[in-house]
Chain A
Amino acid sequence: MSTIDKAAGGVGNFADDTVGASKIVNGFARKIFPDHWSFMLGEITLYSFVILLFTGTFLTFFYEPSAAHTVYNGDYAPLAGQGVSEAYASSLRISFDVRGGLIMRQVHHWAALIFVAATVVHMIRVFFTGAFRKPREINWVIGLVLALLAVFEGFTGYSLPDDLLSGTGIRIAQAIILSVPVVGSYISFFLFGGEYPGEDFIPRFFTIHILLLPAVMLGLIVVHLALVVIHKHTQYPGPGRTEDNVVGFPLFPVYMAKAGGFFFIVFGVIALIAGLVQINPIWAYGPYDPSPVTAGSQPDWYMGWLDGAVRITPGWWEFTLFGFTFSMNIFIPTTALILFVMAAGALYPWIEQAATGDRREHHLLDRPRNAPTRTGLGVMALTFYVLLWISGGNDVIAHMVGLSINDITRFMRVAVFVLPALAFVVTKRICLGLQRKDREKALHGRETGRIVRLPHGEFIEVHAPLSEAERWVLVQHDANRPMDVEDRLDAGNPNSLYGKVQRRLSRFYFEDRVEPVTPAELAAAHHGHDTEIESQEHASIEEKQGDAAIATSQKYHG
Chain B
Amino acid sequence: MSEIERADEAHGQGSTALAKSGSGVPERFENPGLPPHRHRMGDVDPQAAKRAERQVAFMLLLSVLGSIGIIVSIIGIEYNGGWDRISTSTRAIGLCMFVSLFMLGVGAVHWAKTLMPDDERIDYRHRQRGTTAEREQAVAILKEGSAEAGLGRRPLIRNTLIGALALFPLPAVFFFRDTGPLPGNSLSVTMWEEGTYLVKDPTGGRIRAADLTYGTVVHVMPEGIDELEEPLNEKAKSAVLLMRLDEDLLTPKSAEWGVDGTVAYSKICTHMGCPVALYEQQTHHLLCPCHQSTFDVTQDCKVIFGPANRPLPQLPIRVDAEGYLQASSGFHEAVGPSFWERG
A residues near B (Cβ < 8 Å) are 30-32, 75, 95-100, 102-103, 106, 135, 168, 171-172, 174-176, 178-186, 188-200, 230-232, 239-250, 253-254, 257-258, 260-269, 271-272, 274-276, 288-297, 307, 310-318, 320, 323-325, 327, 329-330, 361, 363, 394-395, 405-406, 409, 468-469, 471-472, 475-476, 517-520, 523
Q: Are B121 and A250 in contact (CB under 8 A)?
A: yes
Q: Are A271 and B309 in contact (CB under 8 A)?
A: no
Q: Are B27 and A518 in contact (CB under 8 A)?
A: yes
Partner of A254, one of B82, B117, B125: B117
Partner of A185, one of B93, B309, B339: B339
Q: Which of A200, A327, A409 has the most CB of B within 10 A?
A: A327
Q: Which residues of A contact B221 (CB under 8 A)?
A: 291
Contact bitstring B181-192, A, C-beta under 8 A = 1, else 0: 111001100000
Known A291-B267, A314-B307, A394-B292; judge A276-B31 contact (CB<8 A): no
Q: Which residues of B contact A194 (CB under 8 A)?
A: 180-181, 186, 233
Known A185-B340, A324-B340, A325-B339; judge A297-B125 contact (CB<8 A): no
B70 closest partner in A (C-beta): A100
Q: Is B326 on the interface with A (CB-CB < 8 A)?
A: no
Q: Is B219 on the interface with A (CB-CB < 8 A)?
A: yes
Q: Are B309 and A290 in contact (CB under 8 A)?
A: no
Q: Are A291 and B32 in contact (CB under 8 A)?
A: no
Q: Which of A200, A253, A289, A316 has the most CB of B within 10 A?
A: A289
Q: Which of B81, B93, B111, B186 has the most CB of A within 10 A?
A: B93
Q: Which residues of B contact A102 (CB under 8 A)?
A: 86, 89-90
Known A32-B121, A250-B4; judge A265-B106 contact (CB<8 A): yes
* Docked pose: A254 CA to B74 CA in angstroms: 35
Q: Is B341 on the interface with A (CB-CB < 8 A)?
A: yes
What 9 A-B pairs have minimum CB-CB distances, sorted nearest first? A275-B94, A268-B102, A261-B108, A240-B34, A264-B105, A268-B101, A175-B272, A265-B105, A271-B97
Q: Are B34 and A247 in contact (CB under 8 A)?
A: yes
Known A185-B340, A290-B235; judge A100-B101 contact (CB<8 A): no
Q: Are B29 and A476 in contact (CB under 8 A)?
A: yes
Q: Are B123 and A168 in contact (CB under 8 A)?
A: no
A395 closest partner in B (C-beta): B292
B residues near A (Cβ < 8 Å) are 2, 4, 7, 10-11, 13-16, 21, 23, 25-29, 31-35, 74, 79-82, 86, 89-95, 97-109, 111-113, 116-118, 120-125, 127-129, 176, 179-183, 186-187, 201, 219, 221, 230, 232-233, 235-237, 239, 267-268, 271-275, 277-278, 289-293, 303, 305-310, 337-343
Q: Which residues of B contact A99 (CB under 8 A)?
A: 74, 79, 89
Q: Are B180 and A200 in contact (CB under 8 A)?
A: yes
Q: Are A198 and B123 in contact (CB under 8 A)?
A: no
Q: Are A310 and B181 in contact (CB under 8 A)?
A: no
* Docked pose: A517 CA to B239 CA in angstroms: 71
Minimum CB–CB distance for A67 against chain B, Å: 9
* Docked pose: A171 CA to B122 CA in angstroms: 55
Minimum CB–CB distance for A244 against chain B, Å: 5
Q: Are B100 and A405 in contact (CB under 8 A)?
A: no
Minimum CB–CB distance for A106 against chain B, Å: 7
Q: Which of B82, B303, B309 has the most CB of A within 10 A?
A: B309
Known A190-B180, A193-B180; judge A247-B122 contact (CB<8 A): yes
Minimum CB–CB distance for A283 against chain B, Å: 9
Q: Are A294 and B179 in contact (CB under 8 A)?
A: no
Q: Are B112 and A254 in contact (CB under 8 A)?
A: yes
Q: Which residues of B contact A180 (CB under 8 A)?
A: 340
* Docked pose: A82 CA to B118 CA in angstroms: 62
* Docked pose: A288 CA to B232 CA in angstroms: 9
B220 closest partner in A (C-beta): A291
Q: Are A175 and B124 in contact (CB under 8 A)?
A: no
Q: Which residues of B contact A471 (CB under 8 A)?
A: 29
Partner of B272, one of A176, A198, A239: A176
Partner of B25, one of A257, A261, A292, A523: A523
A135 closest partner in B (C-beta): B128
Partner of A518, one of B7, B28, B233, B341: B28
Known A172-B274, A265-B102; judge A231-B128 contact (CB<8 A): yes
Partner of B123, one of A188, A232, A276: A232
Partner of A320, one of B7, B305, B343: B343
